[in-house]
Amino acid sequence: MRALTCGPSFKTWPGVEQDMAECSEISLMLGAFEDAELEPNEMQEVAYHLARCQSCSGILSDYSSVGRELRSLTPALDFTAPNLAGFADAVIARIDRLPQPWYRRIERYFGSGADFLGSGFAWGGAVAAVAVVTMLLLTPYAQQMSSRRLGAPSAASNQLAAATVAQPSTANDVSSMADNDSHAVISRLESGNPSVAVWSEPRKDTTVIWLPDQP
């Protein structure tokens, strides 16, 4: 390693003016020249200077030595060494111990489920959905709902109509007032036969008949 300064060791050629200022400018670029990180014209300029300047060549050589020493100082990482052998596994083990956010757990569960079952899962889901809709449409409840929408009398309402035949006038009143308020139905019935009271709620298919106690 040489102690170098620009100037004294400058090689000079006849007719070439050497400038100390040039050395100080070039010395700032020597590192980048060593790293090949200069623009092409700057690389050319430094190369031209180095060809003539022994001291700057010395600095460049020192920079190379510094780099070499630093590399020798830092041994290559050996991933078979005890402290590095299981590095990746240790990282993954720590990651697996991290608390997972709920959305990620759900995402992983469904994501992996879809991968596992593939398109069969989607087809199965579609078939199941159709089956549920069909069942809903075919149940008595669904029939009841649909018949009510169409205005047709149901079996239950037929029975109730039969039960009120004993009071023909009141039955007619009930049917005629199907859409009226249930309190109004009571008052009409009471006016026809005060000993019988009928509570009818046509919208719920419910009719309650109160009969007087028999002596």
Partner 1 sequence: MRTPGRQDGDEAELIERSRKGDSEAFGVLVQRYQRRVIGVALAVVHNQDDAVELAQETFIRAFENLAKFESRSSFSTWLYRIAANLAIDFWRREGRHVVLHGEDADNEISRLPTTHGDSFKEVARSQLSKRLKEALEELTPEHRAVILLREVEGMSYDEISEVLQCPRGTVMSRLHYARTHLRTILQDLAGS
- Residue numbers at the binding site for partner 1 (CB under 8 A): 1-3, 28, 31-32, 35, 37, 59, 62-63, 65-67, 69-75, 77, 79, 81, 83-84, 87-92, 94-96, 98, 100, 104-105, 107-109, 111-113, 115-116
Q: How far is the CB of 33 from partner 1 (least distance, A)?
A: 11
Q: Is 10 within 8 Å of 52 (Cβ atoms)?
A: yes
Q: How far is the CB of 54 from partner 1 (least distance, A)?
A: 16
**How far is 80 from 73, CA to CA, in rounded Å?**
20
Q: Is 194 helix (H, G, I), strand (E, B) or coil?
A: coil
**How far is 119 from 145, CA to CA, in rounded Å?**
36
Q: How far is the CB of 67 from partner 1 (least distance, A)?
A: 4
Q: How far is the CB of 83 from partner 1 (least distance, A)?
A: 6
Q: Is 5 within 8 Å of 55 (Cβ atoms)?
A: yes
Identity of the amino acid at 78: D
Q: How far is the CB of 118 from partner 1 (least distance, A)?
A: 13
Tokens 């402290």 sit on residue: 83
Q: Is 4 within 8 Å of 61 (Cβ atoms)?
A: no
User: What does each C-alpha distance from 37 to 89, 186, 189, 212 come to in angstroms?
Assistant: 38, 102, 106, 111
Q: Is 192 within 8 Å of 183 (Cβ atoms)?
A: no
Task: For partner 1, give the closer residue by CB, 59 or 198.
Answer: 59
Q: How far is the CB of 125 from partner 1 (least distance, A)?
A: 18
Buried residues in 83-113 as b, exposed as e (16+ CB within 10 A): eeeeeeeeeeeeeeeeeeeeeeeeeeeeeee
Task: For partner 1, give the closer residue by CB, 95 or 150.
Answer: 95
